[in-house]
Structure 1
Amino acid sequence: MELPRITSREEWLVARKALLESEKRLSQERDRVAAERRELPMVELDKEYVFEGPAGRCTLLDLFEGRRQLIVYHFMLPPGADHVCPGCTFLSDNIGHLAHLHDRDTSFTAVSRAPLAEITAVKERMGWTFPWHSSHGSDFNYDFHVSLDPAVAPVEYNYRSAEELEEAGLGWILEGTDWHGLSVFLRDGGRVFHTYSTYARGTDLLNGTFNYLDLTPLGRQERGFSSPSRFREPDTRG
């Protein structure tokens, strides 16, 4: 990668002030989009989803833990997976202290289609402490379009049908069974509403490491998550 050119402090300051104007416009646009996101209409859920967690079976309403809002990260872990998604691993390492969400009446959990025992094994190996529930046997992943099986539900990912994905040159997505995403829910008494879902690069803003690296000259230095030892599976050869 080519390094930035070397200049005087005076010339650097002129360039930095010009960039600051672009950053301000970006902040204003981000605030505008965030306001537009908050104004999205919401859909009431009338299907009961059953999950399994450390405390046993529970419903979507239970995942709120009494709070008004719930954020669900759809972690790519189908039943019997022989590897753990490095992208989901990277993002999960960046989940902050949940007390700050709880202080704002918001709960968080990851949800995967794998059985709880498989989730627990990954969670313990990685040292994660955030809640992570299994939707095994439920339609939850299919209804929120992170598990793809036309025999269960019409295939859709990132708001594109199977045909649209093929037309966009994204047919490789259809070769997988499970993908990542994030969904947000709001509770009003005992009623639960779906307010937002995002997929693919829509989850970038959740990754604090990316945001730090975006401030640096070398950027994200993306390597397909193939190098860091943290993403490798444990050696079980004995």
Structure 2
Amino acid sequence: MTALPPVADHETWQRELEALRIREKAATRELDAIAAQRRRLPMVRMPDYTLEGENGPVRLVDVFEGRSQLIVYNHMWFDGEEWQCPGCTGFTAQFTRFEFLEPYDARFVIVTQGPIDEALAYKRKVGNRFDWYSTANSPFGADVGAPAGGGFAVNVFLRDGDAVYRTWHTSGRGVEQLSHTFPLIDLLPYGRQEEWQDSPEGWPQSPTYSRWTSPQEIAAAYGARGD
């Protein structure tokens, strides 16, 4: 590497860090305020959708499995493709457990437009550990911002008895904020090393997505032949 940050004495470094910390703390407080506003959003009642699960048809209300809150990751699906979206595959691969949601009366699942048999086969191939459901025979995916042939999203639902309400939705880089990979990478001096990022002159940069882990690499590490 020929491009390096400038070298400074400890006092200068500490002063610059403290100046940055002011902005970091302000961002933290803003995120707290955003979460508070999110808790005050209204909600929309959903129809009584039927999805396909590993054991057959299942009503959306039953996907909660008795819990009151549900997070759904809408996984992109392309018919006839051996390897599905690397972004979706990579995002869901970074999570290995969601038991911490249980004290919060919540559950996390994956819903895709792919036929359930193909979706479950892909889940096993890439070593995904969560329950998958298919909306191939239901308008659910299209109705929550994840239509067939593309579209990924995160949707949150609240159950009150047999009534299900949609409380929140995001897609695009809003989903990225829920990961732990990019926050870690953004701590590094060279960051993501993608062309669109604001970096000092001479910093290593490559095409967007080119450093992302591929579905094939995820399958090799975590799938049927991995651990």
CA contact (8 A) 1:114 1:135 kept: yes
Cα distance in 1 for partners of 2:59, 2:30 equals 37
Pick closer, same or farther for the CA change 1:194–1:71 going to 2, 3 Å.
Answer: same
Q: CA deviation at 1:142?
A: 1.1
Cα distance in 1 for partners of 2:147, 2:80 equals 14
| Identity between Structure 1 and Structure 2 (%) | 38
Could you say what the CA RMSD is over the residues aligned between the two structures, in angstroms?
2.0
TM-score norm. by structure 2 comes to 0.84
Cα distance in 1 for partners of 2:187, 2:63 equals 35
Which residue is 1:134 aligned to?
A: 134
Which residue is 1:3 aligned to?
A: 4
TM-score norm. by structure 1 comes to 0.80
Cα distance in 2 for partners of 1:125, 1:212 equals 26
Which residue is 1:120 aligned to?
A: 120
Match of 1:219 among 168, 179, 191: 191
CA contact (8 A) 1:146 1:179 kept: yes
- Which residues of structure 1 form unaligned runs of 5+? 149-176
CA contact (8 A) 2:83 2:215 kept: no
- Asked if 1:184 corresponds to 2:156, the answer is yes
Q: CA deviation at 1:139?
A: 0.3
1:55-92 C-alpha deviation (Å, 9 max, x unpaired):
22101101111111000001001433343101101101
* 2:169 partner letter: S
SS state of the match for residue 129, structure 1? coil
Cα distance in 1 for partners of 2:35, 2:158 equals 16
Which residue is 2:216 aligned to?
A: 232
Pick closer, same or farther for the CA change 1:3–1:126 going to 2, 3 Å.
Answer: same
* 2:181 partner letter: T
Which residue is 1:97 aligned to?
A: 97
CA contact (8 A) 1:86 1:225 kept: no
CA contact (8 A) 2:96 2:129 kept: no
CA contact (8 A) 1:214 1:220 kept: yes
SS state of the match for residue 73, structure 2? strand
* 1:33 partner letter: I
1:72-115 C-alpha deviation (Å, 9 max, x unpaired):
00100143334310110110112241100122111111100111
Cα distance in 2 for partners of 1:194, 1:229 equals 32
Which residue is 1:30 aligned to?
A: 31
Q: CA deviation at 1:126?
A: 0.9
CA contact (8 A) 2:116 2:133 kept: yes
Question: Number of aligned pairs?
Answer: 206
SS state of the match for residue 71, structure 2? strand
- Which residues of structure 2 form unaligned runs of 5+? 195-206, 221-227
Pick closer, same or farther for the CA change 1:71–1:205 going to 2, 3 Å.
Answer: same
Cα distance in 2 for partners of 1:226, 1:21 equals 33
Cα distance in 2 for partners of 1:129, 1:91 equals 13
SS state of the match for residue 232, structure 1? helix
Pick closer, same or farther for the CA change 1:229–1:29 going to 2, 3 Å.
Answer: closer
Q: CA deviation at 1:230?
A: 4.2
Cα distance in 2 for partners of 1:51, 1:122 equals 18
Cα distance in 1 for partners of 2:193, 2:67 equals 38
Q: CA deviation at 1:180?
A: 0.8
